[in-house]
């Protein structure tokens, strides 16, 4: 089965200890301290590997550790730095802290290599501690401890267009016709188990990436069947094509199918249901219609086109109507933001390892307060306050760490100004 989730344990390298040593040579009566520094521990680094498209490897190897730094030695010899551990992942992999589910990194777009856990710093040898009054220091600094974390890797397919629909409506057939992808095609009663990606090339227009998202069933948003695994891959898509069996070859009503899938998208994540959509009414060459009876295509168009959702009758087998569908999808794509959908960072391993960093909250004058300290400064460095999600995360950080409560105890009221280093905010409860 397609592997799109894996849980692994990662550990950076411990810093090597500094050395306590003194120079001892013939004819040198009182050699001073010559203890060398310990080497730095190796980092845990995640890197995108273009040839990978699943997380299968992580089902066999679940523990990844960087090398420890070597201890310092005498004669001012420093220990060797520990080797980094580079972990290769496919593009689109999200790294989450397991217990909270918060995003540590999204390996998408321009983010192709990121240090997730930094190795411990090597300790200083005793030569650093010699003073006029302490000429024989018998103390060296120990290396910093290693950092370890259990993380959840989650692969979300990167595609411009998502092809959604119930099992066996023809998604794989359509994908194989419009792209160079070669999915397995057969009359499976259940569903394709892995997403297939292909590139659509259009004459005179920019191409786009389309993903055949495995078939959804009612209750998918609640995890029924393989619901979560399938819905996860739709999150990065910008336009959705609802593919339905207009001929009802398996006895299902296409209009009911569309509403069912739309409800599952909304239940999983509301913004999915708000993305631009188009309906592809497939299998038109298999439609049987009694004289005087309204065609299934007319029924679908009358139901959804007044809602602003265009309906295209197509045959994925013969290719009829497919070209018109693709050009319309390209038009929809030209109306949406072209920037890749990247998930905001929510969890900071380096910061969370040291929650004891201090901060101060004080009132500078009437209606003006300030918040400072290395803890705040470090968090600001990690947070993109220009993005809505980044700003919400910083507000949550202030609340969870009791900073907003301290401001209220100092008498802050709505409209007062809070100064945090180079930023000024208006306070509203």
Kindly tell me if the per-residue pLDDT of 319 is higher than 70: yes
What are the percentages of helix, strand and coil residues in the chain, rounded to 5? 25, 25, 50
pLDDT tens, residue by residue, 133-145: 777 788 888 888 8
Q: Residue 291's pLDDT is what?
A: 66
Determine the pLDDT at residue 307.
Answer: 92
Sheet strands (E) in 284-410: 310-313, 360-365, 368-372
Higher pLDDT, 278 or 374: 278
What local confidence, expressed as pLDDT, does residue 419 receive?
A: 85
Predicted pLDDT of residue 84: 96
pLDDT at 374: 72
In terms of average pLDDT, the best of 176-180, 222-226, 235-239, 395-399 is 235-239
Q: Is the pLDDT of residue 168 over 90?
A: no
3 state DSSP class of 394: helix
pLDDT at 216: 58
Mean pLDDT of 350-355: 57
- C-alpha 322: how far from its chain's center? 33
pLDDT digits (tens, 9 = 90+) for 90-125: 888 999 998 888 889 999 888 899 999 999 999 999
pLDDT in tens, 196-207: 777 788 777 777
Between CA 333 and CA 133 the distance in angstroms is: 73
Distances 169 to 70, 190, 214 between C-alpha atoms, Å? 60, 11, 11
| Interval 52-88: pLDDT, tens | 877 888 888 999 999 999 999 988 899 999 999 999 9
Q: How far apart are the first and last CA of the chain?
A: 49
More confident site: 429 or 277: 277
Judged against a pLDDT cut of 90, whether residue 89 lies above it is answered with yes
Half-sphere exposure of 320 (CA within 13 A, CB side): 10
Is pLDDT at 389 greater than 70 in this prediction?
no
């Amino acid at each position: 089965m397609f592997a799109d989730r894996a849980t692994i344990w990662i550990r950076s390298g411990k810093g090597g200890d500094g050395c306590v040593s003194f120079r001892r040579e013939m004819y040198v009566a009182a050699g001073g301290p010559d203890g060398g520094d310990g080497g730095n521990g190796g980092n845990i680094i995640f890197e995108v590997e273009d040839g990978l498209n699943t997380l299968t490897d992580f089902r066999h190897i679940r523990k990844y550790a960087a090398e420890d730094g070597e201890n310092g030695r005498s004669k001012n010899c420093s220990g060797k730095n520990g080797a980094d551990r580079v972990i290769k992942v496919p593009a689109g992999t999200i790294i989450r802290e397991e217990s909270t589910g918060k995003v540590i990194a999204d390996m998408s777009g321009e983010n192709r290599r990121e240090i997730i856990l930094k190795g411990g710093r090597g300790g200083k040898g005793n030569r650093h501690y010699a003073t006029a009054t302490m000429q024989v220091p018998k103390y060296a600094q120990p290396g910093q401890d290693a950092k370890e974390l259990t993380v959840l890797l989650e692969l979300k397919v990167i595609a411009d267009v998502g092809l959604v629909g119930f099992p066996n409506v023809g998604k794989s057939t359509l994908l194989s016709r419009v792209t160079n992808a070669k999915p397995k095609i057969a009359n499976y009663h259940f569903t394709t188990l892995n997403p297939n990606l292909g590139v659509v090339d259009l004459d005179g227009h920019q191409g786009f990436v389309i993903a055949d998202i495995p078939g959804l069933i009612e209750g998918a948003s609640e995890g029924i069947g393989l619901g979560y695994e399938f819905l996860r891959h739709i999150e990065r898509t910008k336009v959705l094509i609802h593919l339905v069996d207009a001929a009802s070859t398996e006895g299902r009503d296409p209009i009911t199918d569309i509403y069912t899938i739309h409800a599952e998208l909304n239940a999983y994540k509301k913004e999915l249901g708000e993305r631009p959509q188009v309906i592809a009414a497939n299998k038109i060459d298999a439609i049987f219609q009694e004289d005087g009876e309204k065609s299934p295509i007319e029924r679908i168009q009358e139901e959804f086109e007044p809602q602003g959702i265009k309906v295209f009758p197509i045959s994925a087998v013969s290719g009829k109507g497919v070209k018109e569908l693709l050009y319309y999808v390209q038009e929809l794509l030209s109306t949406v933001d072209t920037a890749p959908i990247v998930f905001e960072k929510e969890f900071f391993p380096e910061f969370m390892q040291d929650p004891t960093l201090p901060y101060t909250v004080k009132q500078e004058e009437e209606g003006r307060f300030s918040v400072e300290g290395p803890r705040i400064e470090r968090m600001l460095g990690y947070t993109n306050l220009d993005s809505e999600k980044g700003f919400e995360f910083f507000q949550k950080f202030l609340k969870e760490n009791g900073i907003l409560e301290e401001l209220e105890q100092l008498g802050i009221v709505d409209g007062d100004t809070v100064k945090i280093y180079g930023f000024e905010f208006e306070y509203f409860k």
